[in-house]
Amino acid sequence: MNADTHPSLLRVLRQGTWFANLPVPLQEAIVRGSVVRSFAKGQVLSLEDSPPKGMFVVLEGRVRVVRTLPGGEEALYHIGEPGFWFGALALVAMRKTVVSIFAETTTRVMVLPKPQFERIVADEPRYIRHFALLLADRHATLLQILALAHGLTPMDRLRARLAETVEMKHRDRIAADSPTLNISQSELATMIGVSRQKLNGLLKELEAAGLVELGFRRIRVPDPTRLRGVTEEADAQAEQRVSG
């Protein structure tokens, strides 16, 4: 990696909670062993059920995280923005990838190739713990989303999904107190399993309550804490259903 690029990438990546909490030698080893690549809209960054190519982090643009269901339909799990890391599961578990990643826009990513990842953890085995922590965070988020979707109303699912997405954005990259989610209503409707028309009505209700502000392919959350507070009753209901 170009010596001039190395410090600038470190500054950018340290905006994210996971990377910022890594030991400095590990931060430097990751950036030093990585390459920066660009992808056009629609290009495949990683294909499900394929051998892992490396660990990625979005620097610019957005990516779609999808998995093909048994009937051939694609399930949209997440829209990753700058600071979003992916690919670590297949590397750490030494297994094939479980989702596909597509460029939603022109996208620039940093890639830590598999051989460089393996060299880092071979030279210092204790570093594997830090990659496992990233996986644990992603796994916990997925379980939360699945639990909240169990038997809840569409409105409760929407509130919960927005709250979880805001929280993930905070962790991936230290954001402003009023984060804007760069996601279309069609994408969000797919993620919570309702029609585009149904979602629009639900969002209008949240907007009337002052919980969101709607724009073109953007949903601004003026007060994430208040939005999360609104979901507490839904959380309790979901936990009761899961435990029952």
Q: What average pLDDT score do residues 144-169 get? A: 74
Residue 67 lies in a domain: yes
Residue 141 lies in a domain: no
- Cα dihedral angle (159, 164, 166, 171), rounded to 10 degrees? 170
Q: Distance between CA atoms of 13 and 190, rounded to whole angstroms?
A: 30
Q: Which residue has the higher pLDDT, 35 or 231?
A: 35
Residue 22 lies in a domain: yes
Q: Which tens digit of pLDDT belongs to each residue from 138-151?
A: 766 666 666 655 56
Q: How many domains does the chain have?
A: 2
Extended beta strands in the chain, E state: 35-39, 44-46, 54-60, 63-68, 74-80, 85-86, 100-103, 107-113, 180-181, 213-215, 218-220
Domain ends where: 101, 135, 169? 135
Residues 18 and 116 in one domain: yes
Half-sphere exposure of 203 (CA within 13 A, CB side): 25
pLDDT (0 to 100) of residue 30: 96
Residues 122 and 160 in one domain: no
**Confidence (pTM):** 0.76
| Rounded to 5°, angle at Cα 110 from 162 and 96 | 75
pLDDT (0 to 100) of residue 177: 47
Q: Distance between CA atoms of 27 and 117, rounded to whole angstroms?
A: 12
Residues 103 and 173 in one domain: no
Domain ends where: 102, 135, 168? 135
Q: Which tens digit of pLDDT belongs to each residue from 43-78?
A: 999 999 999 999 999 999 999 999 888 877 788 888
State the residue range of the domain holding 236: 149-243
231: domain CATH number is 1.10.10.10
